[in-house]
Structure 1
Amino acid sequence: MVGLKPSDVPPTLGVKMASAGAAACFADMITFPLDTAKVRLQIQGEKTAVDGIRYRGVFGTISTMVRTEGPRSLYNGLVAGLQRQLCFASIRIGLYDNVKNFYTGGKDSEYPNVLIRILAGCTTGAMAVSFAQPTDVVKVRFQAQMNLNSVSRRYSGTMQAYRHIFLNEGMRGLWKGTLPNITRNALVNCTELVTYDLIKEAILRHNLLSDNLPCHFVSAFGAGFATTVIASPVDVVKTRYMNSPPGQYKSAINCAWTMLTKEGPTAFYKGFVPSFLRLGSWNVVMFVSFEQIKRAMMVAQKRTEATN
């Protein structure tokens, strides 16, 4: 066994939500430069980059950003990213088991139907976007802006960005791209959680590994790859639409159509490698941390109850 042992008592909703939020923030801090590189590659093509800068590949993008804008540019939007994960991951991951049980009618089933899992994943993903959308808009815009000079920077700080968007674009600006984001995160969430669930379940059912770190690692890696393949097209449209100035695109669908007609189908898979590197590594760090933090919180809760 590697890491903490699984608890005999199921974790409470509060434990699951807190563990999911903490694990997602930890994963974001480690993988954020890959996410920033992904955003830069995704928006490349919608307009000529400043001073003719072009990004080629994930490591080329990171290298160019460090050389022209400094290392801190890789963490543009981190504060908004952590704010996003605190409310986003705690809902979409923390509520998943409870929503899954709700759809089964409260019946304890060791292996729920795949359709029930997919429905639960889509539900919690859509619910999370409703709360976290403004943080996602600010995060994307920070990652997209270039730090070459003061003129090219749209926002100086996270709170100033929320205020600026609200004053100039209204509430609709803060919730810009909600539809593609709900679509993207419903896909991501159900693929991520359902794939992780199924792979982990198959491994444990066939006694290939015990319910610990190696099992969580393999399950999370598989979930990351499957999620990247399915969610990349929607993710690119979401990023382009969120980052666009008012009036550039009539809607998310118009944004997708413009990309298709002007850049071709491959535009929907721009930034695929950094997306996979980011989602794969993010899933591994997040799920492994989530399982261990959840178990650690359960141990602490048991000790507190025993003392009382």
Structure 2
Amino acid sequence: MRDESGKLDSKRGFLCGLGAGVAEAVVVVCPMETVKVKFIHDQTSANPKYKGFFHGVREIIRSQGLKGTYQGLTATVLKQGSNQAIRFYVMTSLRNWYKGDDPNKAINPLLTGLFGAVAGAASVFGNTPLDVIKTRMQGLEAHKYKSTIDCAMKIMKHEGPMAFYKGTVPRLGRVCMDVAIVFIIYEEVVKVLNVVWKTD
């Protein structure tokens, strides 16, 4: 995805993030999030039916099949795809801005963390509405919604536009720290691998 000079531009960073987000949504995030959301909702109900996490997974698959772990797949793909696309776009843009005309200019890990936090904040504001929809589609009351679009329309009609930003502040703190740490670790691991594999 890099150009002839080895530089990854923002558009290509966006596409890389989008591809990574869609892949992680299908393979890992959707089944894990669906089970997590159902388990949390079950545990807060008057009569919980799941005795533990693994019992919950077994019961969901037994009663609903593997499909039961993939509720809200469209919303999850949209959320994860946009999530990573925004993060990679912002991170790539900031890195390229900082490096300017010198692609070999080193970036301090703290600056990488700052750029990661900004990328995390951008992803929170950019896709919290999709996260709200995804969570509704995966909850125990998911049967209320015919589709992702139906869910979005019902939220808008019954709760208004601000409902799409529920949980933004707590999510902002967690995601900014998370993305900052992930990008710092990623950059440091890449440096080590470049030395080990003698790619520089």
Q: What TM-score, normalized by structure 2, do the two folds share? A: 0.85
Alpha-carbon distance in 2 for matches of 1:10, 1:196: 17
Name the CA distance, whole Å, in 2 between partners of 1:8 and 1:18: 18
Equivalent residue for 2:22, pick from 15, 21, 25: 25
Q: Counterpart in 2 of 1:91?
A: 86
| Alpha-carbon distance, 1:23 to partner | 1.9
How far residue 9 of structure 1 moved from its aligned partner, in angstroms, is 2.5
Residues 12 and 5 of structure 1: CA distance in aligned 2, closer, same or farther (over 3 Å): closer
- Describe how 1:59-208 pairs up with structure 2 within 5 A: 59-102=54-97, 104=98, 106=100, 108=102, 110-145=105-140, 153-205=143-195, 207=196
Q: What is the distance in 2 between the residues matched to 1:64 and 1:210?
A: 50
How far apart are the structure 1 equivalents of 2:198 and 2:66? Answer: 40
Aligned 8 A contact 2:14 2:88 in 1? yes
Distance 1:210 1:173, change over 3 A: farther
User: Is the Cα–Cα contact under 8 Å of residues 41 and 55 in structure 1 kept in the other structure?
Assistant: no
For the residues of structure 2 that align with 1:45 and 1:140, how far apart are their CA atoms? 16
What SS does the corresponding residue of 1:10 show, helix, strand or coil?
coil
Q: Which runs of 4+ in 1 moved over 4 A?
A: 4-8
Q: Percent identity?
A: 21
Letter in 1 for 2:92: D
CA spacing shift, 1:55–1:5, aligned 2, 3 Å = farther
Give, in whole Å, the separation in 2 of the partners of 1:44 and 1:202.
44
52, 58, 66: which is aligned to 1:56?
52
Count, aligned residues: 197
Q: 1:41, 1:55 → 2: CA distance?
A: 10
User: What is the SS of the residue equivalent to 2:194?
Assistant: helix
Unaligned runs of 5+ in 2: none
Shift of 1:127: 0.9
Letter in 2 for 1:171: P
Can you list the C-alpha shifts for 1:228-259, whole angstroms capped at 9, x where unaligned?
A: xxxxxxxxxxxxxxxxxxxxxxxxxxxxxxxx
Q: Which runs of 5+ in 1 are unaligned?
A: 148-152, 212-308
**Are residue 40 (structure 1) and residue 38 (structure 2) matched?**
yes
TM-score by length of 1: 0.57
| Root-mean-square deviation (Å) | 2.6
